[in-house]
Structure 1
């Protein structure tokens, strides 16, 4: 790179590591790759939930306190705005050669206005199509129309749009993003943080682990109901639900009815803790509920558990189902509690050994490492910064 100073890329996201979530891991690895290529990187994000351990990795991360819902999520318009309004002024006070913007749409709107005032180009990192998802979960039609208009405005103003999959690419192009400016960079998981972990004293009994958000689009209810079908036949089996989301209270109540004493709920855990749980699991669980606006979504929680050595029981729609089926990575079934229960029985009857776990982890490293995804994204950054 030429010039007397390194180019600065500012990453804008309400979620960033160590807070768990696909976007947080994806953007963290992007920041690492940018720094590897001698960019000056700054991250404008939020203060994570109380008790979260923040590691000092030398990255310039500026955290702002925000409102969170009862589950600890920055989710909902009031919570979004508690981040977005201060963000406007933070961006105005930040020198950047390029800004990388993560949804939601309100953040995109604020970023486009601030970047226009600073005459700074921005890129939009589309992990999904927000307005399509809102429509799928039954948001008011008027609100959806407004969301579509705003999301279109954000996408058309972006110098480039990064899409995580072909499905997302099709969605943003249909919404109005110029096709020539949309690049698919892929989906991956941080294989250094999620890896096969040696456990000194493996837990006794059988265990199924769900690790991730529990909201309308995931439909984790199917796993609790299915486990209720098999729990009596496997009295030593445990269903461990790790994460947060709007569905947690209802799922807790359901679990007490269908499998009392055999379902445990825990708050979000760091990757090292999750990896240890997956290392002793009969299988991990992941799902995308049909018709919730995310039929094209790539369930990255499945990649995290595979990377840590657990085969996956996948329920519902999305490209992950075919990948699991085609590569013998577990069981891909429909969004049906009977089918899920059948897969659970098979998993509980045959706990994977060390060789199988190593094989699953190696497959993820070869095919879905976030390092490769980040390298693809930084190639696009290079083009933009150099005037491409």
Structure 2
């Protein structure tokens, strides 16, 4: 098989998509495929690319002030060249495309001209996410139209959960969908290994966008730290809510014990997580995005650290029923009460048990293997 992956983000740039695609490249390689990756030149702040068992072609793109390819102008700086890169790329049997839907739109056009099938990797539903941010209705409608176009033209769609698969079928009823699950690199995120020189008791690691609703997590942290003068916290990441979170923390009475750091490489994120006593994850309900799963939860559990989650089901039930930490409704007071029990030792969780759950249920290797099988079957069917 000759598979070409098209994605605006790829290793070594930090992100869930980077880890997911790196695992997919490895799984496809083990299946005997030759893999090419058409992606972006990483930001200057990112270190040298790790060894990848694929031919990686990088293209310079526009990035926002934080260094991310995020925003419609930034997307176009990747998507339009990607159309021509696919069109004139060497011989291929199939394409795999990552969101955003704008990339899927241009890949569908190029794939049609190449007479090649493409597989859409639906890690989430972007039109639902756009609606959750309060974007104008015409923007949401435009994103949904692009997403329907990208999904309906795919020879196959790979979804990360049953809920995402349901939304895919709602947008593209004729789509063939395989659910592979979410994954975390359990080789990278482990309970044992290096830790930061000054670790924090509570960490938030990852994106804080409107639909994450991380403000509730910060308010809970401030409450816990106010009652426990020895405890510390660190928020590590980026996102649209990041500036506001910093302002809230700086105005609080515990400002000196809440650190904010920009996104760090996965290896460094693993250090912060394994050294913490608890991690925070939140999901704001009622925005049409309740089905989402903050993947920061899996990174924490693989590192042996229990999670304190505030948000809707199905994640709340998953955390509670599997003994993965504490979970409440989306409420700062309730979360603070549960988080305090983790920090003061009233609730304890075995790190090896948490890790064992991730290995059994959300191993990136197993999930990438399932995705590789779906891609191979799609190629054989097309032949």
TM-score scaled by length of structure 2: 0.94
**1:191-230 superposed matches below 5 A:** 191-199=186-194, 207-230=201-224
My pick for the range that moved more, 108-117 or 136-145, is 136-145
Residues 196, 272 of structure 2: 8 Å contact kept? no
Unaligned runs of 5+ in 1: 1-6
Question: Match of 1:118?
Answer: 114
Q: Secondary structure at the match of 2:255?
A: coil
Out of 245, 257, 270, the residue aligned to residue 265 of structure 2 is 270
My pick for the range that moved more, 299-308 or 44-53, is 44-53
Cα 1:380–1:201 change in 2 (3 A) is closer
Question: Are residues 1:36 and 2:24 paired?
Answer: no
Cα 1:93–1:323 change in 2 (3 A) is same
Question: Match of 2:274?
Answer: 279
The structural deviation recorded for 1:291 is: 2.2
Residues 129, 168 of structure 1: 8 Å contact kept? yes
Out of 118, 127, 132, the residue aligned to residue 128 of structure 2 is 132
Out of 151, 158, 162, the residue aligned to residue 158 of structure 2 is 162
The structural deviation recorded for 1:74 is: 1.2
Question: Are residues 1:372 and 2:373 paired?
Answer: no
My pick for the range that moved more, 233-242 or 55-64, is 55-64
In the aligned structure 1, how far is the partner of 2:213 from the partner of 2:233? 16
Residues 12, 100 of structure 1: 8 Å contact kept? yes
Question: Match of 1:146?
Answer: 142
The structural deviation recorded for 1:230 is: 2.1
**1:74-93 superposed matches below 5 A:** 74-93=69-88
Question: Match of 1:17?
Answer: 11
Question: Match of 2:312?
Answer: 317
Cα 1:170–1:160 change in 2 (3 A) is same
In the aligned structure 1, how far is the partner of 2:195 from the partner of 2:242? 31
In the aligned structure 2, how far is the partner of 1:19 from the partner of 1:357? 28
Q: Point out 4+ residue stretches in structure 1 off by more than 3 angstroms.
A: 198-204
Unaligned runs of 5+ in 2: none
The structural deviation recorded for 1:201 is: 9.1
Question: Match of 1:45?
Answer: 39
Residues 282, 352 of structure 1: 8 Å contact kept? no
The structural deviation recorded for 1:51 is: 2.1
**May I ask how many residue pairs the two structures share in their alignment?**
379
Residues 26, 370 of structure 1: 8 Å contact kept? yes
In the aligned structure 1, how far is the partner of 2:316 from the partner of 2:5? 31
Q: Secondary structure at the match of 1:190?
A: coil
Question: Match of 2:63?
Answer: 68
The structural deviation recorded for 1:197 is: 2.0
The structural deviation recorded for 1:352 is: 8.7
Q: Kindly provide the CA deviation profile for residues 48-107 of structure 1, in whole angstroms up to 9, marking residues without a partner as x.
A: 222212213343111212111122221110111111111111111212210001111110
Structural RMSD (CA): 1.9
My pick for the range that moved more, 121-130 or 133-142, is 133-142
Q: Secondary structure at the match of 1:251?
A: helix
Residues 195, 271 of structure 2: 8 Å contact kept? no
Q: Secondary structure at the match of 1:15?
A: coil
TM-score scaled by length of structure 1: 0.93
In the aligned structure 2, how far is the partner of 1:350 from the partner of 1:202? 23
